[in-house]
Amino acid sequence: MSAKKGREITISVLKFNPRSKISKPHFVDYKLEETPGMTLFIALNIIRETLDPDLSFDFVCRAGICGSCGMVVNGKPALACRTLITNYPSGKLQLMPMPAFELIKDLSVNTGKWMDAMSKRVESWIHTQKETDIEKIEQKVEPELAEETFELDRCIECGVCVASCATALMRPDFVGPVGLNRIARFEIDPHDDRTTEDYYELVGDDSGIFGCMSLLACQDHCPKHLPLQSKIAYLRRKLVSLR
């Protein structure tokens, strides 16, 4: 008895190479058979291996850890490796590159360039006058505070929150939810000596905390389910109290 055949799915991909003078944005449809537990990542690899070796998309870990495979799936930013085909009853998926980032080719965008600029802008490192002595036991941190800091450190910088943020799409200078999350992470870290005034100087304007329109699409789409809503609200209340 032959095995039951999976349903046919259609994946429509926006293809475009901005570095080619003859390339123009256009959609290409790929039809393939769905397999049990198939993710979008698996489907894209099948397409590249059997149908179109020219297709460009990014991936590294395949486990929702590296954040490389972000793309827009049927209008919503998501990670390909965590997107199950079975969750799309129509069997039709339209894929586009994430906006707000420099397009490399097809579904591949340069999130690293954007994240590096954001990291420098919010001065994403510990600021302290204390000398580090590696021969001494490091400073103690209360478990609850350490857990809160580690929770925000789970951000994988995939760019999904930025691609889903209306302010980031309208304002290229907006620091984005990931940048505000980074500020919140250092603000609660007892190793960092910066004051609330210091953080106000970094993000206390319309390209920072006051540019957020509180639509909260960032939290809705975050693949790591970070508490972006509460942390952005916390930062806004704290910084607005200074003025």
**pLDDT value of residue 3:** 54
pLDDT tens digit string along 12-68? 999 999 999 999 999 999 999 999 999 999 999 999 999 999 999 999 998 999 999
pLDDT tens digit string along 177-209? 999 999 999 999 999 999 999 999 999 999 999
Q: What is the edge-to-edge ordering of all strands in the sheet holding 76-79?
A: 26-33, 8-15, 92-96, 70-73, 76-79
- Find the mean pLDDT for residues 74-98: 97
- Find the mean pLDDT for residues 165-180: 95
Lowest mean pLDDT segment, chosen from 25-29, 53-57, 134-138, 148-152: 134-138
Average pLDDT, the chain: 94
d(CA 143, CA 15): 48
**pLDDT value of residue 134:** 80
Q: Which stretch of DSSP H or E encloses residue 239?
A: helix 228-240
**pLDDT value of residue 217:** 95
Domains of the chain by start residue, with CATH: 8-108 (3.10.20.30), 141-240 (1.10.1060.10)
* 140 confidence band (pLDDT: 50, 70, 90): confident
Residue 43 and residue 11 in contact, taking contact as beta carbons nearer than 8 Å: yes
pLDDT tens digit string along 1-13? 445 678 999 999 9
- Find the mean pLDDT for residues 126-131: 89
**pLDDT value of residue 1:** 43
